[in-house]
Structure 1
């Protein structure tokens, strides 16, 4: 009985953890005013017939607070990398000087900041929904076990309390990440 309860709880925790990881990934795509290599994580380049992530084709470094530099391992891919960065929906305008591609981060206007904050809140809400879905599924499994008389009502209640505590903890983590991202975006 205890093993089943632990399995349900660890499964729910694993799903909630994945929601948090997805939130981090989505927050990295939302640009702040500062240069950060993870900003280019979503960029892929056609390389010998395969769609390849930029990180596998080049070194990405922060030159200063507002500029990224990209140096391709294979110099012949530099123009392709530059085009891919321009085509991305990040609103970046790279310029290459020989083998080095410099990407200046444009200043964020108040309007774009508000748009990014709205996007961040939407991502956080999606993560909260995902965490709640994991809780709902775990609660349903506990109810099913109790209905099948595999666990007692007390064990079901205890399991539900543990799942709720887990959910509250993950929702708090999401809120913390959201407030950090918002303050990051409002920084000038």
Structure 2
């Protein structure tokens, strides 16, 4: 039972870190990346579908993306989705091709984005600590039901704490790497 609790906590902590990585991919670093527009939803015949299902997204150079919708009719819908998003980018349309030019980040904008990255990291740390709390509560419940001894409880809580410390260190590493990417000119 204790092993199941530890494995569950470890898996949930790993998922939290993966979610952080996925979230940080969307933070613009000044370099073009197709991940910037992957989360966009386009209104396609009355339903919202991911951009990747209605268009081809390519990197044309280090500061621009090219979006080519598969149908001419949805160029306007793709433009609307880009304008409505939180990207802060204006699409340039030429026929059926949409270009997104990424301006160079100012020092002030880099610092703002750095704060956003830190905030996401803190949110992930809180989630990891909540997972630790849940696991420790399950261990205490087992002790209360007399299914484990106090020594087992103490050992299990120490192992959960080690998992937590490792996960928080991983979060710090992910945040630091993203911050370095942001500050690189």
| Superposed pair shares fold, TM > 0.5 | yes
Match of 1:63 in 2: 60
**CA distance in 1: counterparts of 2:167 and 2:70, whole angstroms:** 40
- Where does structure 1 differ by over 4 angstroms across 4 or more consecutive aligned residues? none
Deviation at 1:118, TM superposition (A): 0.4
Match of 2:108 in 1: 111
Unaligned runs of 5+ in 2: none
**CA distance in 2: counterparts of 1:68 and 1:128, whole angstroms:** 33
User: Equivalent of 2:10, from 9, 13, 22?
Assistant: 13
Question: Which deviations, in whole Å up to 9, do the C-alpha atoms of 1:75-128 show, x marking residues without a partner?
Answer: 221121012112211111111122211111011111111110000000000000
Unaligned runs of 5+ in 1: none
Deviation at 1:60, TM superposition (A): 1.0
Match of 1:165 in 2: 162
Match of 2:93 in 1: 96
TM (norm. structure 2) is: 0.96
User: Equivalent of 1:54, from 51, 54, 60?
Assistant: 51
Structure 1 residue 32 corresponds to structure 2 residue 14: no
Structure 1 residue 177 corresponds to structure 2 residue 163: no
**CA distance in 1: counterparts of 2:71 and 2:167, whole angstroms:** 43
Match of 2:123 in 1: 126
What is the RMSD of the two structures over their aligned residues, measured on CA atoms?
Answer: 1.1
Match of 1:138 in 2: 135
| SS of residue matched to 1:125 | helix
Deviation at 1:51, TM superposition (A): 1.0
Match of 1:147 in 2: 144
Match of 1:44 in 2: 41
| SS of residue matched to 1:101 | strand
**CA distance in 2: counterparts of 1:55 and 1:24, whole angstroms:** 20
